[in-house]
Amino acid sequence: MKEKAKAFAEKAHQGQMRKNSDAPYITHPIRVAERLERAGCTEELICAGYLHDVVEDTVYEIEDIQSLFGTRVAELVAAHTEDKSKSWQERKQHTIDTVTFAEKEVKYLIVADKLDNLLGLEKDLEEQGSIVWKKFNAGVDKQEWYNRSIAKNMYIGLDKSKAPTFFKEFEDVIQRVFD
């Protein structure tokens, strides 16, 4: 099922590029899924890693994910899909609220995604400088608020000692990017 999810995500994101880069967009979901796999997550969660942006950023809908990959994968993807009709602030607050109260697999998906985004941002800042911030819907202050809020709330309901190692990596990258 993982290869099917990867292939579907590749097709869905075909032609899309990463922000601030000429890298194909699919490199991001692949890294998210690989991080989840290295952490020993379930096959359903790894599939959700590949598919996490499909509904948000392509023509496909959650029903497509459910019919092809089952209810559990669709639930995971849906839990982390932003409603693009809402403002940036509303969307990000929803993600913060989700990571605060969600089951651990949804937390894992969100943090793996945010970590990969932040690692990409860190690289872009090193290569391009602060001009990178102009390409975002919200500037450095709001980005810092958002990422620090995810980190502050990601452990709620989890035994910190049993959280995947990439949670700590996320905290470390926040320090490097925003301090």
Q: Considering the candidates 57, 64, 82, 169, report the single residue annotated as catalytic.
A: 57
Alpha carbons 82 and 128: distance in angstroms, whole number: 28
CATH number at residue 161: 1.10.3210.10
| CA separation for the pair 43, 73 (Å, rounded) | 9
Domain count across the chain: 1
Residue 72 has what pLDDT? 98
pLDDT score of 152? 98
Spatial distance between the Cα atoms of 55 and 77, rounded to a whole number of angstroms:
8
Q: Find, among 68, 63, 53, 175, the residue nearest to 122 by Cα.
A: 175
Q: Which pLDDT score is estimated for 138?
A: 84
Q: How high is the pLDDT of residue 134?
A: 84
The pTM of the whole model exceeds 0.75: yes
Is 53 designated active site? no
Along the 179 residues of the chain, how does pLDDT read in single tens digits? 999 999 999 999 999 988 777 889 999 999 999 999 999 999 999 999 999 999 999 999 999 999 999 999 999 999 999 998 999 999 999 999 999 999 999 999 999 999 999 999 999 999 999 888 888 878 899 999 999 999 999 999 999 999 999 999 999 999 999 98
Annotated catalytic residue within 10, 56, 75, 122: 56
Per the annotation, the verdict on 56 as an active-site residue is: yes
